[in-house]
């Protein structure tokens, strides 16, 4: 048993799409989340930059927040920096988001299925989904499509409207039609926020959502290592989730309020660059 929080992080608010699944299945667990809203999006940046940002956040969660596990709620970081982070922090379990969803796709699809993976430029260029899926089921056909405009629009709250619908059609109409895609992996944790738009535009598609799939691997890792949180006793203080952001954008705060709509959490500001800048000016 271990009552320390589970650390989650993403470039912004996308990783929050994992949280409702976790709280529903494992309500005793406490979360410390970090959204790098000041530096989002990651997906069009170079691997070196993504690795630097990811290691700063992992250091913060592990060394100053004492999390018992880190769940990388970001496909881009999982594709580019997972091995680095594991080498940097060998004693703490660090879970990527790509393997569990790739496993679901590999296990749940037959050779006649045609799988599309959408994600950031970095995720699609890495080929991480294709490698993982084919590693388990080499008979499958997989096609990738980078959709770099989705994340900035979602971070701006441009979601349920025709601008988003047009942007989705710009990236996906031809991709889905030409490749005859019937199964779509939402390979970026921001994309579940536009899942309704996608299913409205392409009603027959089967969707695989990594934000949901990572839950199984978190639960398994907690069980294997005996790290589940204890049942709260009547006198135990109410568990508090903490959501850090490197820039407290209105959308980030609104999204958290939407997920929780009650008490039991707090939002906090933490910006490594700004702190270093202030320190230099002293
Ligand atoms: N939500 C992230 C992902 O899953 C990152 C998107 C971005 O910052 O470009 O890839």
Q: Given ligand 1 and candidates 35, 120, 211, 212, which is best to mutate, with the most ligand atoms within 8 Å of its CB? A: 120
Of 181, 210, 239, the position where a domain reaches its end is 210
Which atom of ligand 1 lies closest to the CA of 41?
8
CA of 142 to the centre of ligand 1 (A): 20
Does this model's pTM top 0.75?
A: yes
How many angstroms does the Cα of residue 85 sit away from the middle of ligand 1? 17
Task: State whether 125 and 68 are in the same domain.
Answer: no
Supply the CATH number for residue 65's domain.
3.40.50.1860
pLDDT over 70 percentage in the chain? 97
Q: Which residues of 9-38 are buried (b: 16+ CB within 10 A; e: fewer)?
A: bbbbbbbbbbbbbbbeebeebbbbbbbbbb
Please check whether residues 42 and 179 belong to one and the same domain.
no
Q: Does 1 fall in a domain?
A: no
Q: Which of 12, 46, 186, 246 to mutate to test the pocket of ligand 1 (most atoms within 8 A of CB)?
A: 12
Active site residue 188: yes
End residue of a domain, out of 158, 175, 210: 210
What domain count does the chain have? 2
Local structure of residue 57 (DSSP, 8 states): H
Is there a single domain that holds both residue 160 and residue 217? Answer: no
Note whether 42 and 66 are within 8 A (CB). no
Same domain, 241 and 223: yes
Do residues 52 and 80 both lie within one domain?
yes
| Structural domain harbouring 89 | 6-96+212-281
* Residue 15 host element (H or E): none
- Say yes or no: CB of residue 79 within 6 Å of ligand 1: no
Tell how far the Cα of 30 is from the centroid of ligand 1, in angstroms: 23
Residue-by-residue pLDDT tens, the chain, 282 positions: 999 999 999 999 999 999 999 999 999 999 999 999 999 999 999 999 999 999 999 999 999 999 999 999 999 999 999 999 999 999 999 999 999 999 999 999 999 999 999 999 999 999 999 999 999 999 999 999 999 999 999 999 999 999 999 999 999 999 999 999 999 999 999 999 999 999 999 999 999 999 999 999 999 999 999 999 987 655 445 568 999 999 998 999 998 988 877 778 999 999 998 888 888 887
219 plus 86 within the same structural domain: yes
Ligand 1 atom 2 nearest Cα? 74
Examine the residue annotation and report whether 74 is marked as an active-site residue of this protein. Answer: yes
Q: Which of 18, 74, 109, 147 is catalytic?
A: 74
Q: Do 32 and 58 form a contact (C-beta atoms < 8 A)?
A: no
Among candidate residues 186, 210, 234, the one where a domain is terminated = 210
Residue 235: predicted pLDDT: 47
**Does one domain contain both 62 and 107?**
no
């Amino acid at each position: 048993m271990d009552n320390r929080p589970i650390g989650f992080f993403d470039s912004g608010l996308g990783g929050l799409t994992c949280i409702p699944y976790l709280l529903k299945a494992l309500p005793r667990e406490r979360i410390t989340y970090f959204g790098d809203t000041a530096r989002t999006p990651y997906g069009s940046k170079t691997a070196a930059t993504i690795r630097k940002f990811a290691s700063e956040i992992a250091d913060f969660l592990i060394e100053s927040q004492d999390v018992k596990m880190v769940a990388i709620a970001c496909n881009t970081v999982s594709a580019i920096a997972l091995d680095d982070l594991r080498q940097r922090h060998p004693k703490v379990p660090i879970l990527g988001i790509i393997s569990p969803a790739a496993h679901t796709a590999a296990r749940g699809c037959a050779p006649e299925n045609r799988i599309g993976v959408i994600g950031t430029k970095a995720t699609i260029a890495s080929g991480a989904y294709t490698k993982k899926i084919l590693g388990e089921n080499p008979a499958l056909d997989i096609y990738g499509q980078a959709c770099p405009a989705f994340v900035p629009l979602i971070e701006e709250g441009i979601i349920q409207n025709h601008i988003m619908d047009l942007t989705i059609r710009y990236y996906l109409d031809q991709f889905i039609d030409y490749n005859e895609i019937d199964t779509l992996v939402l390979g970026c944790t921001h994309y579940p926020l536009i899942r309704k738009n996608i299913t409205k535009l392409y009603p027959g598609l089967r969707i695989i959502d990594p934000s949901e799939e990572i839950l199984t691997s978190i639960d398994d890792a907690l069980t294997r290592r005996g790290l589940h949180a204890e049942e709260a006793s009547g006198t135990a203080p109410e568990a508090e989730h903490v959501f850090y952001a490197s820039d407290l954008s209105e959308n980030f705060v609104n999204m958290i309020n939407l997920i929780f709509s009650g008490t039991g959490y707090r939002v906090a500001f933490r910006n490594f660059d700004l702190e270093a800048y202030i320190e230099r000016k002293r």
